[in-house]
Amino acid sequence: MKQAHQHIDPPKWAERFFEWYCYPPLYDSIIGDLYERFDDNVEQYGQRKANRKFCFDVLRFMNRHTLKRKGQSKFYNNNMSILSNYFKVGFRNLMKNRSFTAINILGLSVSMAVCLVIILMINDQLSYDKWQANSEETYRFTHYDQNEVNIPMATVPMPLGEAMQDKFAGFEHMVTFRRGFGGDVIQNGKAIALQGYFTEPSFFELFSFELERGNPETALSTPNAIVLKKDIAEKLFKDQDPIGQTLEVGNKGVYQVTGVLKEFPGKTHIKFESLVSLSSLDKLEKNKVLGSSIGNWGNGSETWIYFKLRDGYSIETLKGYLTEAEKEHYEPESDEGKEFTLQKMSKITPGPLHGNQIGAGMPNFFVIGLGVLAILIIVCATFNYTNLSAARALTRTKEVGVRKVMGARKGQLTIQFIVESILVSILSLIVAIGLLQFLIPAFQSLQMSSLLEWELKPDLKAYLQFFGFSVLLGLITGIFPSLYLASFKPIQAMKNSVSNSKLSKLSLRKALIVTQFVISIVLIVSSVLVYKQIKFIVEKDYGFSKENILNVHMQGQDFAKFENELEKLPFVESVTATNNIPSMGTEYSDDVKLSDGDETFSMNYFDVDEDYISSLQLELIAGSDFIKGAPSVNKRAAILNETAVKQFGFESPLEAVGKQFYIENDSLALNVVGVVKDYNHMMLIMGIDPMMLRYDPSGFRIAQIKVAGFDIVKEISAIEAVWDEFDPNHEIILKTFQGEIDEFNAFFFDILYIVGLIAILSISIAGMGLLGISTYAIQIRMKEVSIRKVLGASVKGLIFLLSKSLSIMLMIAFIIGFSLAYMANNVWLNQFAYRTSFGFDVFLMTALAMVGIGIATIGWQAWRATRANPAATLRDD
């Protein structure tokens, strides 16, 4: 033998690789042959070539004879039958432990149902514009206003598009949208509101919208041409052919229908009912029907511009031209200044929050927030499963032992228990899909759902996602308990003496439970606070009367005539006019100053008539009301609120009366005739700004009618009758003042609803988790309890003993959770001008909830344990 070459070894990795794949019974004989051959080759060709040949041989040896295989038999494996056995045993085991199974499945399915809704919402959001052929290549211009809040605006000045086309040759298509089109169409004696955008013929080239009727090349080219969405066309014309028909749209003129759009194959972030040729805009702006946007670099809030570049032109070059345009058209550091940016169409919905969106959309932080919430909920439920299965392990030790003796390997046992957890999660999925049928309508009845046009209908793809989700969940939840179960030593397992030290190591499980409770305490406290805050807002004294006041929108009709008609009704106490309803988030303001050269400040105003103060029961603290029947005097009068008095720097309300001030851009001076006590004219989260009441009949858009309120239904129908006679063309828009404010507050109720639901969910999941772990913690101490009982321990003492450690845990969770909740909730509450207090009541409520849960879980289990017959537990020893 050549001893000299004994020390040269073939490449280690190849040896290791061979060992990894080789079927063990063949390993020795083959690797021996390989070594022999290697040594020969070293002698014959040298080490390098021998190495190469060795590696080559190792690779060549891979075939069906030499690969590792499962099972004992060479060519038969019984994986399928063992798998079905796993399912069978798993199912029997679930049936055996009904209470555990119920807790597991209930906890998982409830949280799963919420996750499914969230998956649907996220799917819905992600479906936006995906059907558009150019969704990845289409961009729009956006801008940031200088010296403004840092939210980007989706709109840009209209001349930007043309300016860019002059500078840059790379545009394939560019589409300009301009808002402002809309108004009532009188059709068959009824007014139908129509909304839309001005746009260009290139619309049909850039976007994938198609026409069902009409020619896409010409439909939007001539002035006063209109293209309708299918549903609105059907609404307007019923069975008639819409093409060629004319529509008179509000004060915007007469339009001829040149096309009807096909139903869109998917959702789009561009929300419109109709499209009007951009060439119609010129006349409207000249006649001052609409504000100026053509060629106006100062108006950055009316126009959207979308475009697609030709192949080979880069978006980066365009950015350079945008910076150039900023410098050309805006003075540096001026208030008008804008910074232009770009946004890809596929990134619009869901996308970052933009002002002036072309349609309502959910900003992406909301989508991300929902996702985080889903993960949080599911993590809680996962903890439960892990805890409960680990707890249940005690009852499975014999089975594990027997299986191991029969030759089951650790991997097989792991798979067995993972299969069981997948079984649980699939069962939960079935329950969750059942729950979904109730959850979807509940979510869809939310206000924001209709605003954002949520479509939460699960399709086949969604069901597949659900299934994948539940299998994955089963896998994740099952991994820890199954590794643990599979690690039992057979003899110990059979003797039922699995080391208690291992099982009683509760630290991980305790940490999980504490985390769960911290999360749910934060959520409980938050929902209590959200509830308190909303109640506070709803019940707060606004400073004006809403009682028995009905709001009727004038819809362009003359207020004075309507008032005359109404005053004939016996139950009408007063009728007043205004341009705006207070506390609803809409503000009209002008810049005012005391005299020339003074600093101006922004002052909100309401255009009202002389009955306003008395109808709304505002408190006049100085001066007088508008004078009845003296419009010319009233037109030069203003009534301030206290904040405005302070802002002007008057010493007292009395001093303010009789003073004059000016509205910027208006040389006319207004006389302060009176001062009202501050009331909440802005939405309640805002506070009170300087405000004035002016007398301006041209602003009278809403009639506020105070009625006796004896029989409100009858009174409303009487007013409706008056309206129908007064204006047969328009449907009456009548709402109660209170109803209108409630509707505005409904958004807050939506949030309350969601937060409350999630809080209930998380607390029930956490409660179930605690029930599981207390059952388990007490089970392993049964012998101890029995011995103590035999020795004469009292039931009270035993309950105390058993619940001590878990109660301490609950307390720790409470302290951490409450302090976290305190910090987190103060952040959002401080955003409100009027906020509710944290208060002892919140603390007490949460604490009571915790005590209740503690008694229902730990206490109950401890009580049960102490009631058990000691003879039964001790018999075996």
Partner 1 sequence: MNSKLGEFEEIVLMLVAAQHEQAYGLSVTKAIEKELKRSVTMSSVHTALYRLEEKGFVTSKIGDAEGNRRGRRKRVFIITSQGKIALKETREARNHIWDMIPKFIFDIA
Q: Minimal distance in Å, beta carbon 61 to partner 1?
A: 4
Quick one: which segment of 56-64, 244-252, 468-476, 803-811 binds partner 1 (CB under 8 A)? 56-64
* Residue number with CB closer to partner 1 (61 or 203): 61
CB distance 219 to 188 below 8 Å: no
Indicate which single residue of 34, 275, 525, 702 sits in contact with partner 1 (rule: CB under 8 A).
34
Q: Residue 61, interface with partner 1 (CB under 8 A)?
A: yes
CB distance 548 to 712 below 8 Å: yes
Q: Residue 35, interface with partner 1 (CB under 8 A)?
A: yes
Q: Minimal distance in Å, beta carbon 24 to partner 1?
A: 13
Rounded-to-integer distance, Cα 536 and Cα 748, Å? 12
Whether a cis peptide bond, with omega within 30° of 0, leads into 10 is no
* Residue number with CB closer to partner 1 (57 or 137): 57
Q: Minimal distance in Å, beta carbon 396 to partner 1?
A: 41
Quick one: which segment of 30-38, 180-188, 475-483, 622-630 binds partner 1 (CB under 8 A)? 30-38
Rounded-to-integer distance, Cα 237 and Cα 192, Å? 11
Q: Residue 1, interface with partner 1 (CB under 8 A)?
A: yes
Q: Minimal distance in Å, beta carbon 343 to partner 1?
A: 60
Rounded-to-integer distance, Cα 167 and Cα 159, Å? 13
CB distance 578 to 618 below 8 Å: no
* Residue number with CB closer to partner 1 (7 or 568): 7
Quick one: which segment of 35-43, 374-382, 551-559, 653-661 binds partner 1 (CB under 8 A)? 35-43
Q: Minimal distance in Å, beta carbon 1 to partner 1?
A: 6
* Residue number with CB closer to partner 1 (45 or 800): 45
Residues 6+ apart with CB under 8 A from 812: 514
Task: Please report where in the chains the tokens 């020339």 appear, as a residue.
Answer: 596
Q: Residue 65, interface with partner 1 (CB under 8 A)?
A: yes
* Residue number with CB closer to partner 1 (19 or 619): 19
Please report, as residue ranges, which positions from 9 to 28 form the binding site for partner 1 (by CB under 8 A): 26, 28
Quick one: which segment of 36-44, 426-434, 760-768, 794-802 binds partner 1 (CB under 8 A)? 36-44
* Residue number with CB closer to partner 1 (2 or 796): 2
Tell me, what amino acid is at 471? V
CA atoms within 13 A on the CB side of 704: 28
Residues 6+ apart with CB under 8 A from 132: 138, 207, 208, 268, 345
* Residue number with CB closer to partner 1 (44 or 287): 44
Q: Minimal distance in Å, beta carbon 28 to partner 1?
A: 5
* Residue number with CB closer to partner 1 (34 or 684): 34
* Residue number with CB closer to partner 1 (26 or 816): 26
DSSP lists the bridge partners of residue 607 as 694
Q: Minimal distance in Å, beta carbon 89 to partner 1?
A: 36
Rounded-to-integer distance, Cα 663 and Cα 665, Å? 6
Indicate which single residue of 7, 12, 48, 60 sits in contact with partner 1 (rule: CB under 8 A).
60
Q: Minimal distance in Å, beta carbon 31 to partner 1?
A: 5
* Residue number with CB closer to partner 1 (58 or 194): 58
Quick one: which segment of 2-10, 140-148, 366-374, 706-714 binds partner 1 (CB under 8 A)? 2-10
Rounded-to-integer distance, Cα 615 and Cα 612, Å? 5
DSSP 632-659: HHHTTEEEEEHHHHHHHT-SSHHHHTT-
Q: Residue 689, interface with partner 1 (CB under 8 A)?
A: no
Q: Minimal distance in Å, beta carbon 474 to partner 1?
A: 40
DSSP 284-348: HHHTTSS---TT-TT--SSEEEEEEEPTT--HHHHHHHHHHHHHHHS-TT-TT-EEEEEEEGGGT
* Residue number with CB closer to partner 1 (27 or 588): 27
Count of C-beta atoms within a 10 Å radius of residue 137: 19
Q: What 8-state DSSP symbol labels residue 209?
A: -
Rounded-to-integer distance, Cα 280 and Cα 384, Å? 64
Q: Minimal distance in Å, beta carbon 79 to partner 1?
A: 22
Q: Residue 69, interface with partner 1 (CB under 8 A)?
A: no
Quick one: which segment of 58-66, 86-94, 164-172, 843-851 binds partner 1 (CB under 8 A)? 58-66
Cα dist. 392→385, 409, 427 in Å? 10, 21, 19
Q: Minimal distance in Å, beta carbon 18 to partner 1?
A: 11
Q: Residue 635, interface with partner 1 (CB under 8 A)?
A: no
Indicate which single residue of 7, 12, 48, 63 sits in contact with partner 1 (rule: CB under 8 A).
63
Q: Minimal distance in Å, beta carbon 16 to partner 1?
A: 15
* Residue number with CB closer to partner 1 (34 or 362): 34
Q: Minimal distance in Å, beta carbon 70 to partner 1?
A: 19
* Residue number with CB closer to partner 1 (36 or 212): 36
Q: Residue 73, interface with partner 1 (CB under 8 A)?
A: no
* Residue number with CB closer to partner 1 (33 or 664): 33
Rounded-to-integer distance, Cα 632 and Cα 728, Å? 32
The two three-digit tokens of residue 369, written as one number = 């927030």
Q: Minimal distance in Å, beta carbon 14 to partner 1?
A: 13
Rounded-to-integer distance, Cα 845 and Cα 856, Å? 16
Q: What 8-state DSSP symbol labels residue 619?
A: -
Which segments of 406-446 does DSSP mark as H helices, in order? 410-444
Residues 6+ apart with CB under 8 A from 450: 444
**Residue 129 — left, alpha, or beta (φ > 0 → left; ψ -120 to 50 → alpha)?**
left
Please report, as residue ranges, which positions from 725 to 744 form the binding site for partner 1 (by CB under 8 A): none
Question: Which among 846, 562, 596, 592 is positioned nearest to 732, based on CA atoms?
Answer: 562
* Residue number with CB closer to partner 1 (37 or 735): 37
Question: Which among 669, 687, 676, 689 is positioned nearest to 601, based on CA atoms?
Answer: 689
Task: Please report where in the chains the tokens 């299998």 appear, as a residue.
Answer: 471
What 3-state DSSP class applies to 35? helix
Indicate which single residue of 11, 17, 37, 395 sits in contact with partner 1 (rule: CB under 8 A).
37
What is the total count of residues that contact partner 1 (CB under 8 A)? 22
Cα dist. 605→455, 589, 590, 638, 744 in Å? 40, 6, 7, 9, 20
Q: Give me the residues that bind partner 1 (CB under 8 A), please.
A: 1-2, 5-6, 26, 28-37, 39, 57, 60-61, 63, 65-66
